[in-house]
Structure 1
């Protein structure tokens, strides 16, 4: 085990938040998360990533104008006992849900989190395994994974009350229609995502 890995495994949430606050002041390129006791670099999104986020924001506003799809600047406390910190690419909640909260908000009132994959070597571990487990443990009803590597959209729902992840998932290829379950409750037409494939 390397010294950094050893140090990270012993790191407290408070220590992580100090590092994250320092990074926010000193670097635009390092945007840390703290999942499963490890610091992860969120990375800087590319243009296609941003376009997908804007498209999804518009779709959400069209179907639920009283909701906001907040961007990755809003961090969430996740995992069992809120010992993790994540920055979803999108967080769907009622407008005003995060008023009075800081950089790392409680997940109460969050209806859905969204991840748009980047072309990272750890996408499988982080976005397809760890993030769904963390969001389910936090009680977030729906996790939407827009997977640019696999050209699929997967919706995870029904968080297991014992913290074992989501009990249901359904994936479609880019171009197919996907039903987002309650409390989101609308159909997502995904044809436009074919525009943003490398």
Structure 2
């Protein structure tokens, strides 16, 4: 997915920029059938995670384009009685949150000249709503052997992670990826935080 949005923004450092470009090109080469099959497998493996089995509130996101698919997982969580929160991009690139109550609760929103994003259409709950989550599904492009996640570089989820830390919240941090996006090492910065696990179409990879 090459669009900007909650996962994008300021120009990244050169090493990450090159890696992002390569990963996005690989995603763009996937067929619709491959994306759909991966989404089904991702949902199946994610729903087996104990972190999601015991969660009452999960903060997630709506996948776009060739991103690892999330809608099947969101609907399955709702069917379990889980409260699902989805992000809405704010003008300063921070994220507000709203409840997901099914596909009819989503609206396509265009932010300036950037690509449309699917966001919750209902009442906004405020940026701090994420601190109530028992698990947070983070978008990403890759993760390394330490659990360090490569995001889009816009800083939206860095703000989310910082907000969780300030609040003393300790939700399980999870990322959904394709198998080839689990890599040996990603350049990281002091503010980066590792995820607990990565879910891919072939299974779950845990860290630390």
Which has the larger strand fraction?
1
Say whether the fold is shared (TM-score over 0.5). no
Query: Looking at both structures, which has the greater relative contact order when contacts are Cα pairs under 8 Å and sequence separation is at least 6?
Result: 2
TM-score bin (small chain): 0.3 to 0.5
**Alignment TM-score, normalising by the size of structure 1:** 0.36
